[in-house]
Each structure stands twice: as structure tokens, then as C-alpha cells.
Amino acid sequence: MRPAVSSSVSAAAAPPAPAVSEWRRAVRYLRRDVKVVAGFLVLGGLVLTALLGPLLSPYDPNAQAFDLLAPPSWQHPLGTDEFGRDLLSRLIAGARISLTVGFAAVLLAMLAAVPLGLVAGYYGGWVDLLIMRYIDLQWAFPALIIAVGLMAILGPGLGNVIVAVALAYIDDFARLARAEVLALREEEFVVAARATGASDLRLILRHLLPNSLAPLIVQATVSVSYAILAESTLSFLGLGVKITTPTWGLILSGARGFFTLAWWLAIFPGLAIMVTVLSINCIGDGLRDALDVRVSRAA
């Protein structure tokens, strides 16, 4: 969403008012999108479950006090695992880990990558060359391979998982931020602000960054689902959090040898991951359409 350019230099350099109406239009568009509303409701329920986990869990997620591999019943709605632990309680505890990794890793990746992309796109030259060659080098490797390698170096732990996943997705945000700045830096409102004597820092923070947020927000929603899948994969491989911490990936990993005996050990954590990722993708898809001026104006 680009700001309208005033005929005067001073007006063009000021914060553009039409951008506010574009965001309001996007909010109205999101309210009418059924899949976005459903995605927010599901994700909100999952976040609330993660926050209230200790209050909602019927049992201690690590208590080995029940029948081994008991099928779903009134006492254990999702059954128990091979150590007699209640699966529902473990899934509720795992929601906190998965959502924490998803949101924290993406936030950390944005904080590290967006400034790199803004600086590379604005200054160009050797600065752009130096930053983007590193980004291209990381781009050449799959994000999951990078995360696995970092976890092998850092060792297990929640903080290490967040750092590893965040570093694995830096290239996506850096490339996107750079592309947006390259498209915006020669716009009239930026040229006008530069002509009034605005510093480089002011130009980047006051004009380029706000007008680059829409695609970055959409990318963030997509990356959250990728980060949750990455955490589950790392835990499945035994490279995630400590083995005593219940996560969806660890539960799936433990179900490998019992699928024919206890189908619920793999089905329910798999459904939890699928529903979470699907709800986030629905939100991201709606944000992509809502923040597209052509779509929102046609609606």
C-alpha cells in the first residue's frame, strides 16, 4: 500500500494519511473473510489452551501412573502412551512449546533480517553486495538442513531451538525487505523527503519500513507455520528440546514403534500440528488478499 503523493514537497515528506484508510479497509476485508475468522478463532483457542495449560490439563503430562497404551476412554479422552502418561495432557503441554517456538523464532528472524534487507536495498553498492551474498549463500541450503546443523552444534534446549529456527529463516525476510525498498526508494514521497533534508535513518524508519510492512506481515504468518513444522521435525529427530519436555514432535517420535498397537499416539499429535498450521495459513492467505490494494478495493 503506497501513500498518496502531495503536490508540495513538505506534504509529501509528511506521514501519508491515506495509508491509514488502507489498513482500515484491510481490517474490514478480513472481518468478511470466513476462513480468516475461522483461522483466528482456532488459533486463538490454541493460544488460550497453551497459556492456560496447567489449569486445563487433567493430569501431570509426565506422570507415569496409568495403564500403558490405554485406548481413548472417558478417563483418558486421547488414551495413554507407552509409559502410561495421559496423551491429552501431553498435547496441551506441547502446544505451549510449539506456539512459543513458532512466534518467537519468526519475531527473532524479522528483528535480525529486516534491518539487513532495508540497509541493503537503500544503500546498494558494496553494502548490498556484501549482505546479499551471505543471504544467497544461506538461500542455497534448505532451511531445515540449516536448523538441524545448528542444533547439532548448540545442543538441545528450547532457547537453542528458537535461535536455530530463526537463523534458518533469516534469508526469506531479508530478501523480501530488500525487494520492497528497491521498489520504494525512488518513489516521489521518498525523493521529496530526501529533498527536505531527512536523514537516512529517518527515511528508512519513517517512510520505507512502514510501507514495506504489508508483505512482511504476510510472510511472517507463513513462516510461523513453517517454524512450527521445523520444531516438530527437530523434536521428531531428537534434536529439539530436552527429551523430558513434551512436544508434538517428540510424541510423534515416540509413536513410531507403536503405530500398529496404539494408533492414537500418532493420529492426535499429527492432527494438532495440521490444525495449527492450517489455521495460520488461512490467516496468512486472508492477509495477503486484504493487504493487496487491488483486491481490497474491488471487494
**DSSP code per residue over 117-154:** HHHHHHH-HHHHHHHHHHHHHHHTS-HHHHHHHHHHHH
User: How much is the average pLDDT of 82-101?
Assistant: 90
Looking at residue 237, its pLDDT comes to 85
Q: In terms of Cα–Cα distance, which of 158, 277, 265 is closest to 229?
A: 277
Residue 140 pLDDT level (bands cut at 50, 70, 90): confident
Give the span between the Cα atoms of 35 and 279, in whole angstroms: 8
Looking at residue 23, its pLDDT comes to 66
Is residue 17 over pLDDT 50? no
Residue 292 pLDDT level (bands cut at 50, 70, 90): low
Q: In terms of Cα–Cα distance, which of 98, 59, 55 is closest to 79?
A: 59
Looking at residue 91, its pLDDT comes to 93
Is residue 11 over pLDDT 60? no
Q: What angle do CA 130, 132, 134 make, to 5 degrees?
A: 75
Looking at residue 26, its pLDDT comes to 73
Q: Which residues of 14-52 are buried (b: 16+ CB within 10 A; e: fewer)?
A: bebeebeebeebbeebbeebeebeebbebbeebeebbee
User: How much is the average pLDDT of 249-256?
Assistant: 84
Model confidence over 33-49: pLDDT tens digits?
888 899 999 999 999 99
Superfamily (CATH) of domain 18-298: MetI-like (1.10.3720.10)
Predicted TM-score (pTM) of this structure: 0.81
Looking at residue 6, its pLDDT comes to 43
Looking at residue 21, its pLDDT comes to 62
User: How much is the average pLDDT of 142-164?
Assistant: 89
Is residue 3 over pLDDT 70? no
Residue 152 pLDDT level (bands cut at 50, 70, 90): confident
Give the span between the Cα atoms of 177 and 283, in whole angstroms: 21
Give the span between the Cα atoms of 248 and 292, in whole angstroms: 35
Is residue 13 over pLDDT 70? no
Q: Average pLDDT over the chain, rounded to whole? A: 84
Per the CB < 8 A criterion, the answer to whether 1 and 22 are in contact is yes
